[in-house]
A and B are shown apart, each in its own frame.
Chain A
Amino acid sequence: MKKCEQIKDLILTDYIDGELDKDLAGSIESHLLDCSDCRAFFKEVKDNAAMPFQKVLQEPVPSQLWSAIKENIENENQATNPLADFLDKFRGLIIFPKLVPVFASVALMLLVGSVTLNTVQIQQAKDKDQGEYLVALLSPTSSSTQGDNNDLGTPIEHYFL
């Protein structure tokens, strides 16, 4: 009886898993031929606790597994690779030429604006000077005063006249 208990322990593990040496496995096989109780136990273990797992086929690996792993590795490399950092900075420089036309347009607009403003201001100043000159010519008092005094108002003019 004690022998049967020991054999049942071995049936549950080493015997059913083929981990016993030939001699011990042989002695268990001999016992199974003689002992119906141990033989029934062996069949029960085999059918209910071992065979269902041993018969099952391997599940196919889902195709999305590799693409997910590859994507994770690429993201990880980008986050840690110094070369990738450098390339990111370099990519910033590559973006710069895209802004050149924008800067050029703004500069051109500023240039045109300032030239136009200058022209208007010069024209306004000319118009003002011409108006004052005409007013002076047409005004009798101003011509006599000017003629009497010869005062043109600046020291350099005083010097030459």
Chain B
Amino acid sequence: MEDIAKDILVKASQGDMEAFEDVYKASSSFVYNVAFRVVNNREDALEVAQEVFMIIHQKLKTFRFESSFKTWVYRITANYAINFAKKNSRAKTVPYEDSFGEGAVLSEAQTRMDQEHQSQLVEKLLAELNPDQRACVVLRDIQGLSYEEIAQALNININTVRSRLKRSREKLLSLRRQVDYEKV
């Protein structure tokens, strides 16, 4: 997420729509992409991103600059998306093994995959995780946040970040092995 100058944040907090548009431009990619990957659905992601920006707009008036604006946005986005995903968990329509194609090995397939295929694969892998694990994986592997930033965003202990990532990856490996085993 891009940095935003303090004077723009102050103007936006006073109701200046042009300044708020600058805030939107700097943070919309992060907000939308985290929302999309955590709720794992484009339509819901649009709704979540819209609500997140409404919360930012309403609460910006009370933002005291004691913490980083980025961390504040991370927190609002991640928490809203996790809660939304927990309330609106949708049935999986495509089984995990279908996402790899016939006999493909993921490491070899990566080189051939176009971005759409890559995106669909990620969608299916994330569908195997619960919303809390998904948020950790999205913030770490897709958005590139550090463990400390993830802990602050989700308001959890740094060791909880570690254990969620560990369990998520173990689960993905176990599913991968299961798929390979069933094909033999």
Question: B-contacting residues of A (Cβ < 8 Å)?
Answer: 9, 12-14, 17, 19, 43-45, 47-59, 61-62, 64-66, 68-70, 72-73, 76-77
Q: With A47-B107, A53-B125, A59-B32 given, is the CB distance from A72 to B50 under 8 Å?
A: yes
A66 to B57, CA, bound (A): 13
A47 to B165, CA, bound (A): 15
Which residue from B20, B42, B50, B119 sits with its C-beta under 8 Å from A68?
B50
Q: Using an 8 Å CB-CB cutoff, how does the interface string of B99-131 with A read, 1 for contact, 0 for none?
A: 000000011001000010011011001000000
> For the complex, is B89 an interface residue (Cβ under 8 Å from A)?
no
A150 to chain B, nearest CB (A): 95
Which residue from B46, B54, B165, B168 sits with its C-beta under 8 Å from A73?
B54
Helix, strand, loop or mixed for chain B's interface?
helix
- Would you call B162 and A13 a contact (CB within 8 A)? yes
Q: Using an 8 Å CB-CB cutoff, how does the interface string of B33-44 with A read, 1 for contact, 0 for none?
A: 100100000100
Contacts of A44 in B (CB 8 A): 173, 176
Q: Using an 8 Å CB-CB cutoff, how does the interface string of B136-153 with A read, 1 for contact, 0 for none?
A: 011011100011000000
- Would you call A12 and B166 a contact (CB within 8 A)? yes
- Would you call B107 and A13 a contact (CB within 8 A)? no
- Would you call A62 and B46 a contact (CB within 8 A)? yes
Q: Which residue of B lies closest to A58 (CB)?
A: B33
B166 to chain A, nearest CB (A): 5
Q: Which residue of B lies closest to A50 (CB)?
A: B141
> For the complex, is B76 an interface residue (Cβ under 8 Å from A)?
no
- Would you call A53 and B166 a contact (CB within 8 A)? no
Which residue from A14, A57, A64, A72 sits with its C-beta under 8 Å from B54?
A72
A52 to B141, CA, bound (A): 9
How many pairs, one residue from A and one from B, have CB atoms within 8 Å of each other in the complex?
Answer: 102
Helix, strand, loop or mixed for chain A's interface?
helix
> For the complex, is B53 an interface residue (Cβ under 8 Å from A)?
yes
- Would you call B107 and A12 a contact (CB within 8 A)? no
A133 to B168, CA, bound (A): 118
Contacts of B165 in A (CB 8 A): 12-13, 17
Contacts of B106 in A (CB 8 A): 47-48, 52
> For the complex, is B19 an interface residue (Cβ under 8 Å from A)?
no
A12 to chain B, nearest CB (A): 5
Q: With A57-B115, A69-B54, A72-B54 given, is the CB distance from A52 to B125 under 8 Å?
A: yes
Q: What would be 25 A-B contacts, judged by CB atoms less than 8 Å apart?
A: A12-B166, A17-B147, A17-B165, A45-B173, A47-B110, A48-B106, A48-B107, A48-B173, A49-B173, A51-B107, A51-B110, A53-B141, A54-B141, A56-B119, A57-B115, A57-B118, A58-B29, A58-B33, A59-B119, A62-B32, A65-B32, A65-B53, A69-B50, A69-B57, A76-B54
Q: Which residue of B lies closest to A11 (CB)?
A: B169
- Would you call A56 and B118 a contact (CB within 8 A)? yes
> For the complex, is B85 an interface residue (Cβ under 8 Å from A)?
no
Q: Which residue of A lies closest to B107 (CB)?
A: A47
Known: A52-B125, A58-B142, A65-B46. 15 other contacts (CB 8 A): A9-B166, A12-B166, A13-B162, A13-B165, A44-B173, A45-B173, A49-B168, A49-B172, A49-B173, A51-B110, A52-B118, A53-B141, A59-B36, A61-B32, A70-B17
Contacts of A17 in B (CB 8 A): 140, 147, 165
